[in-house]
Amino acid sequence: MKVIVDLELCQDHGQCVIAAPEVFRMDENSKLVYDADPDESMRRYVEDAVDVCPLQAITIED
């Protein structure tokens, strides 16, 4: 699984951080950083993050 975030579209709302904190986090400047290649066991949480992103900036590639 590969996680892709369109950082041009992302507005750092942080909903993904709540859905999948093991994959997404906010840095010291409140900007999103993420693990682009998380373990497959995180899929359910990443899918939740995709669903809750208000701008639909997150996609998953297999």
The CATH number assigned to the domain holding 29 equals 3.30.70.20
Q: What is the pTM of this model?
A: 0.94
Q: What is the C-alpha separation between 46 and 37, in angstroms, rounded?
A: 11
30 Rama sector, left if φ>0, alpha if ψ -120 to 50, beta otherwise:
left
Number of domains in the chain: 1
pLDDT digits (tens, 9 = 90+) for 18-55: 999 999 999 999 999 999 999 999 999 999 999 999 99
Q: What is the C-alpha separation between 50 and 29, in angstroms, rounded?
A: 22
Owning domain of residue 41: 2-61
